[in-house]
Amino acid sequence: MLAKIRLAAQGTLWEDLHANLGKGQDASCIEFLHLDPGYEGLKSRVLAGGSDEEILAWCETHGRKLNDTDKLVWNSFVAKLGWNDHLTSILTRRKEESGLTDRADIVTMPHYIDVDEGREI
């Protein structure tokens, strides 16, 4: 999400991602962090500069501090998005739109994003 905020500010974020900035998984992350200033507050903080680590520290000051279990739960959740869940239909549609229906190895949104951006999975 931080990279998307930075890319949008630079004018280099893919156009089809603009409509969902701060929504969907961005909103889920904001809620998971209990971030009081919300997405707009995070966006302002990111645009003010700083490393990802500094911004995480800011998030923990303005939301809740994450322990190792919180991080494990979030990372496990994100890694499996699109696999038998509320995003499965979106993953299926994206694969169809991209001509990737023959790719049985693309079973999660992170897989799809990697392939869409030219990386191996």
d(CA 80, CA 16): 22
Q: Cα dihedral angle (69, 72, 74, 78), rounded to 10 degrees?
A: -170
Per-residue pLDDT tens over the stretch 80-108: 999 999 999 999 999 999 999 999 999 99
Number of H helices, E strands in the chain: 8, 0
CB 63 within 8 A of CB 36: yes
Per-domain residue ranges for the chain? 1-65, 80-121
d(CA 88, CA 108): 8
16: nearest Cα among 90, 102, 103 = 90
Per-residue pLDDT tens over the stretch 14-61: 888 899 999 989 999 999 999 999 999 999 999 999 999 999 999 999
First to last CA, the chain: 21
d(CA 13, CA 6): 8
87: which 2 tokens? Answer: 């995003």
Q: What is the pTM of this model?
A: 0.82
Which residues are CB-contacts of 47 (< 8 A; sequence separation ≥ 6)?
A: 5, 6, 9
